[in-house]
Amino acid sequence: MTHMMNQGVAELAQSLARKDFSSVEVTQAFLDRIQLHNNDLNAFVTITGEQALAQAKTADAMRAAGTAGPWTGVPFAHKDIFCTAGVRTACGSRMLDKFIAPYNATVVEKLNAAGMVMLGKTNMDEFAMGSSNETSWYGPVKNPWDRTLVPGGSSGGSASAVAAHLCPAATATDTGGSIRQPAAFCGLTGIKPTYGRISRWGMIAFASSLDQAGVLTRSAEDAAILLHTMSGFDPKDSTSVDLPVPDYLATLDKPLKGLRIGLPKQHFAEGLNPQVEKLIRDALAEFEKQGAILKEVSLDNSHLSVSAYYVIAPAEASANLSRYDGVRYGHRCDKPVDLEDMYKRSRAEGFGAEVKRRIMVGTYALTAGFYDAYYIKAQKIRRLIKDDFDRAFSEVDVIMGPTSPHTAFALGSKHKQKDPVAMYLEDIYTIAVNLAGLPGMSIPAGLLNGLPVGLQIVGRDFSEGQLLNIAHRFQQATDWHTRTPGVGAGTGLKGDQ
């Protein structure tokens, strides 16, 4: 039997059903492992041991009574952007350091209803603004593959935790690449579904027209399980889509013969590490072997996606984050002399440098006199970017390419540098997908100098089932997704000897 620490969601569910071990046992084992490694990795900001064991006990009772669902008792972690009733929900920010959410996000409700056990809340870039998990008020997260490197961001805590087997899976969110880039850097399977597929209710807002929840797992099968559990119409989210949720597990094994894969020439151009390109081409050859057809496509305006994004996302952020005013919840400065002083100092103290920077960029872009030149211009480019995808999808079924131009970079190498633009360009291949609202995935496609490389798969609206199918078929034929950070004794992981 695979050691319980190395089992994914599907396998754990089977083990629990077979009574190989109880939910309390596996929950305790993960809690112990978190204790052992979290000081170093800083992947979790809150560990909810007591609640987790209580949930696990309930799960075991349900299992004994025959009322358990298929995933009842399986532990996982939530990104600290999802409101969890009674548990601190800080979103990586000092602003919410003492914020105990008064309600559960819909995603939290759905996973609770499935009987899954929350181990804790994972670290993240402040308000999900970052690509390295270095903007968190709670400090940077380390990449378990090499602790001098970033795990990617903003879902860096979730990625580090799943890669280090501190939990079998974690929720995450993606506004410009925050699921896919950490998945690539940490050797994980990550999926950001179509905008509207998963409710945003109770998910702390960064840029509302781009934010979407998803998951980080160690296999496409596990991603299918969680995505299915989290998806669905929610009247509380006005952008939630009222479409049935397909059974993603049922279509995982579909043959790929005849699948038309588009390769955007802009994603295989200058700036891409040639060794990353080689691994991506090798992965594409595997799909060809399975009967898929490769075809070059062009996303003509993709070079402007980062520019348009850094107008639209900050503009929406500046509006969303205006709610943090020190009045109703969140940080308030000491001894404010008047209302304006309270607003200005509470926000200055509560927000970190990157969040303030983006609020200011967004404020500027929405200022009278610049609105047309920036905001409207960016929205027009957003339209052209979506048109590019529509055109490509008239010729191909999915689009593939590298998730990131390179492997994980060194902690401190891009953060707090004079020019923030270098960090923004990290998401060069992922951002357009959010602007168009499309589903996107990253799966492990190889190792370069011992570090994971991610393959991005982008589909048409609501083609999550197809993306998971493609990822699963690849994972049936390759073993990149089973690679873990180093091999040791016991659980087979570094630092466990």
Partner 1 sequence: MALALKDIENIAHLARLQLSEAEKTEALDSISSILSMIDQMQALDTAGADPLSHGFDASQRLRPDVVTETDQRDTLLKLAPNAAEGLFLVPKVLE
**Of 15, 79, 136, 302, which residue is the catalytic one?**
79
State the Cα–Cα distance between residues 359 and 39, nearest whole angstrom.
32
Q: Which of 137, 351, 393, 429 binds partner 1 (CB under 8 A)?
A: 351
Beta pairing partners, 451: 448
Lay out the site mask for partner 1 across 310-349 (x = CB under 8 A, - = otherwise).
Answer: xx------x---x--xxxxxxxx---xxxxxxxxxx-xx-
For residue 172, the surrounding DSSP H or E stretch is strand 170-174
What dihedral do alpha carbons 263, 445, 462, 428 form, nearest 10°?
-60
**DSSP code at position 149:** B
Reference 413, options 405, 422, 401; nearest CA is 422
Return the residues of window 10-39 that contact partner 1 according to CB under 8 A.
Answer: none
Least distance to partner 1 from the beta carbon of 190, Å?
19
Q: Is 440 in the site for partner 1 (CB under 8 A)?
A: no
Contacts of 415 (CB under 8 A, 6+ apart): 130, 132, 134, 135, 140, 423
Q: Which of 170, 411, 435, 470 binds partner 1 (CB under 8 A)?
A: 435
Q: Which is nearer to partner 1, 269 or 477 (CB)?
A: 269
**Of 136, 155, 178, 463, which residue is the catalytic one?**
178
Q: Is 382 in the site for partner 1 (CB under 8 A)?
A: yes
Q: Is 239 in the site for partner 1 (CB under 8 A)?
A: yes
If you search the block for the tokens 């378990």, which residue do you land on?
Answer: 144
**DSSP code at position 420:** T
If you search the block for the tokens 């669905």, which residue do you land on?
Answer: 232
Is residue 214 a contact partner of residue 228, using CB atoms and an 8 Å limit? no
Lay out the site mask for partner 1 across 159-198 (x = CB under 8 A, - = otherwise).
Answer: -----------------------------------xxx--
Least distance to partner 1 from the beta carbon of 108, Å?
17
Token digits of residue 183: 């998945």
State the Cα–Cα distance between residues 239 and 227, nearest whole angstrom.
18
DSSP string covering 316-345, please?
Answer: HHHHHGGG-SSSSSS---SS-SSHHHHHHH
Is residue 114 a contact partner of residue 229, using CB atoms and an 8 Å limit? yes
Is residue 29 a contact partner of residue 69, using CB atoms and an 8 Å limit? no
**Of 15, 22, 154, 160, which residue is the catalytic one?**
154
Residue 39: CB atoms within 10 A of its CB come to 8
State the Cα–Cα distance between residues 413 and 402, nearest whole angstrom.
21
Return the residues of window 268-307 that contact partner 1 according to CB under 8 A.
Answer: 301, 303-304, 306-307
Q: Is 421 in the site for partner 1 (CB under 8 A)?
A: yes
Annotation marks residue 289 as catalytic: no
**What are the strands of the beta sheet with 451-458, ordered from one edge?**
44-47, 117-122, 75-79, 170-174, 212-217, 189-192, 440-448, 451-458, 398-402, 260-264, 293-297
Q: Which is nearer to partner 1, 248 or 343 (CB)?
A: 343
Q: Which is nearer to partner 1, 87 or 159 (CB)?
A: 87
Q: Which of 51, 282, 286, 364 binds partner 1 (CB under 8 A)?
A: 364
Beta pairing partners, 263: 296
Q: Which of 261, 361, 396, 441 binds partner 1 (CB under 8 A)?
A: 361
Annotation marks residue 394 as catalytic: no
Lay out the site mask for partner 1 across 401-420 (x = CB under 8 A, - = otherwise).
Answer: -----------------xxx
Return the residues of window 84-123 that contact partner 1 according to CB under 8 A.
Answer: 99-100, 102
Return the residues of window 49-78 that contact partner 1 according to CB under 8 A.
Answer: none
Return the residues of window 118-157 that contact partner 1 according to CB under 8 A.
Answer: none
The size of the interface with partner 1 (CB under 8 A), counted in residues, is 78
Least distance to partner 1 from the beta carbon of 364, Å?
5
Contacts of 255 (CB under 8 A, 6+ apart): 290, 291, 473
Q: Which is nearer to partner 1, 285 or 376 (CB)?
A: 376
Q: Is 460 in the site for partner 1 (CB under 8 A)?
A: no
Q: Which is nearer to partner 1, 170 or 313 (CB)?
A: 313
Beta pairing partners, 401: 456
Phi, psi of 156, rounded to the nearest 5 degrees? -70, -35
Annotation marks residue 79 as catalytic: yes
Q: Is 243 in the site for partner 1 (CB under 8 A)?
A: no
Q: Is 391 in the site for partner 1 (CB under 8 A)?
A: no
Q: Which is nearer to partner 1, 52 or 87 (CB)?
A: 87
Q: Which is nearer to partner 1, 293 or 342 (CB)?
A: 342
Lay out the site mask for partner 1 across 208-227 (x = CB under 8 A, - = otherwise).
Answer: -xx-----------------
Least distance to partner 1 from the beta carbon of 163, Å?
29
User: What is the number of alpha carbons within 13 Å of residue 345 lying toward its C-beta?
Assistant: 11
Catalytic residue positions? 79, 154, 178
